[in-house]
Amino acid sequence: LENTAIYPHNGNRAAQDSATIVKNLVAKYAVEAIAIGNGTAGRETEAFIRGLALPEILIVMVNENGASVYSASEVAREEFPSHDITVRGAVSIGRRLMDPLAELVKIDPKSIGVGQYQHDVDQNKLQASLDDTVMSCVNAVGVELNTASKQILAYVSGLGPQLAQNIVAYRNEHGAFKNRQSLMKVPRLGDKAFEQAAGFLRIRNAEHVLDTSAVHPERYALVNKMARDLNCSVAQLMKDDDLRKKINLQQYVSEEIGLPTLNDIMSELSKPGRDPREQFEVFSFTEGVNAIADLKVGMKLPGIVTNITNFGAFVDIGVHQDGLVHTSQLSNKFVSNANEVVKVHQKVEVTVVEVDVTRKRISLSMKTEQAPKSKQEQRRPNVKPAAQVRGGKSEEQHRKPAKQQQNPKSVQKGKVADGDLQVKLEALKNLFK
């Protein structure tokens, strides 16, 4: 729609001009959210935008790893041939807030940073593993057929770069797809490709209500039969929980369709086209903590896990330098592998353990504070007495004759006192005196 540059950190006059520009753009385009890259001057820019007190505007810090790679790529040049790399990068950051998966598929997964030793392993095997992971994510979420880019369509099962390009070209020429069956008109897209891909492609406001869901066209006849058996339409079946509860799945089990498949169909009918991704939660760093010099030992800060290694996890706490949570500090319990406790991009709360401003090193901890002892436990002595005392005399003294009572060494040699390890060691030393 429009792009411009602001310079909010170049003096008061520039800051005032920048504020005016931002407010005008927000009013002109009814902006609902502002995405800010977490790179250079990201926290300062966030503070500037928040200081404008824009009403009901969502302000979000976005991970910009790989955005510069995209801005200089062939894909970006094809999408925005008349804009420079700074504008392309800004658009990419904004799109990441709207739909991160659709944007991240446009760059090599290795550009995002995939952990320790990524450049030391077999690159072909790494690439294959990363591609499989991206494909799994794309197919699990599903793709909106009429708005998807060719990059994300290429990861749909049964398709590929060429068929994805053909789908986009057909869509541009003939308009939006109205139903899944229209895919068969795309050049070079045959029955096998349609069979594999159809279930992962969604069409919003489609002619056939099941085209909005993940139900495969092969199972449309089954769903229609369920609706007929209940004397209702498929649309009513999808909207009414009570109708779906009346269905006896056992009577629809066959050699081709098992109970697990039927359960999946019922789950999809209850929430057609649902997005399996977690609900978006706004995250913000602690205000006033913008640089490593602002950190103090003992501070509790929100953070985001950026990388996991075999010795711990790195966490972004908003000071332009990730802190390290050593494996020993990940939990109150023993942890052998950091992946068992955290995952990349997980939101965590950490405590500052040590700060070295000169070397730019930050040590963090995710351990929780131990519950304080009760007053009764605090009063209880740590060391048990060697023997229970009655009337100022020990049981040993009551059992010994008077002569032996006058010789304390004989008491100690006669029997090792009961008690903790320290008391027993002391008694053992006395035996050899």
Domain ranges of the chain: 12-111, 123-270, 292-365, 375-431
Composition of the chain by helix, strand, coil, percent to 5: 45, 10, 40
Q: Closest Cα to residue 361, out of 321, 326, 325, 330?
A: 321
What is the pLDDT confidence band of residue 429, given thresholds at 50, 70 and 90? low
At 211, phi and psi to the nearest 5? Answer: -70, -15
Average pLDDT, the chain: 81
Q: Is the pLDDT at 309 greater than 50, yes or no?
A: yes
Question: Above 80 in pLDDT, residue 279?
Answer: no
Average pLDDT over residues 277-293: 79
**CA proximity to 62, closest of 27, 25, 82, 90:** 90
Domain 292-365 belongs to what topology?
OB fold (Dihydrolipoamide Acetyltransferase, E2P) (2.40.50)
- pLDDT tier at 116, thresholds 50, 70, 90: low
**Candidate from 185-189, 281-285, 393-397 with smallest mean pLDDT:** 393-397
pLDDT digit string (tens) for 12-32?
Answer: 999 999 999 999 999 999 999
State percent of the chain over pLDDT 90: 22
pLDDT value for 413: 43
Confidence band (pLDDT; 50, 70, 90) for 374?
very low
pTM for the structure as a whole:
0.67
Q: How far apart are CA 155 and CA 180, in angstroms?
A: 18
Write phi, then psi, for 313 (nearest 5 degrees).
-135, 140
Question: What's the average model confidence in pLDDT over 373-391?
Answer: 47
Which two structure tokens, joined as six digits, stand for 380? 């209880």
Across 109-113, 178-182, 420-424, least confident range: 420-424
Closest of 293, 308, 312 to residue 355, by C-alpha: 293
Let me know how long the chain is: 433
Q: Can you give the pLDDT at residue 20?
A: 93
Q: Which residues are 323's β-sheet partners? A: 315
Q: Measuring CA to CA, which residue among 29, 100, 37, 90 is closest to residue 63?
A: 37
Q: Report the 10 Å Cβ neighbour count for 120.
A: 8
| Residue 269 confidence (pLDDT) | 83
pLDDT band of residue 324 (cuts 50, 70, 90) is very high
- Which residue's structure tokens are 């753009």? 25
Q: Is the pLDDT of residue 6 over 60?
A: yes
215-225 pLDDT per residue, tens: 888 888 888 88
pLDDT at 142: 87
> What pLDDT sits at residue 424?
66
Q: What is the pLDDT of residue 337?
A: 87
Name the CATH architecture for the domain at 12-111: 2-Layer Sandwich (3.30)
Distance CA 201, CA 148 (A): 10
| Diameter over CA atoms, the chain | 115
- Tens-digit pLDDT profile for residues 226-276: 888 888 888 888 888 888 888 888 888 888 888 888 888 888 888 876 766
**Of 194-208, 237-251, 372-386, minimum mean pLDDT range:** 372-386
Decide if domain 123-270 falls under CATH 1.10.150.310: yes
Q: Strand 361-365 vs strand 323-326: parallel, antiparallel, or unpaired?
A: parallel
Residue 420: the pLDDT is: 60
Distance CA 421, CA 383 (A): 9
pLDDT tens by residue, 64-112: 887 888 888 888 898 899 998 999 999 999 998 888 888 888 887 777 7
Looking at residue 405, its amino acid is Q
Kindly write down the DSSP assignment for every residue of 123-183, as one continuous string: HHHHHHHHHHHHHHHHHHH-EETTT--HHHHTTSTT--HHHHHHHHHHHHHH-S-SSGGGG
Determine the average pLDDT of the residues in 341-347.
Answer: 87
Structure confidence at residue 417 (pLDDT): 43
Model confidence at 394: pLDDT above 70? no
Q: What percent of the chain has pLDDT over 70?
A: 82
CB atoms closer than 10 angstroms to residue 102: 19
User: What is the Cα Rg of the chain in Å?
Assistant: 33
More confident residue, 367 or 391: 367
What is each CA distance from 196 to 100, 155, 211, 237, in whole angstroms?
Answer: 24, 12, 15, 26
Is pLDDT of 120 > 90?
A: no
What pLDDT sits at residue 404? 45
Q: What tokens appear for 174 in the block?
A: 């003939």
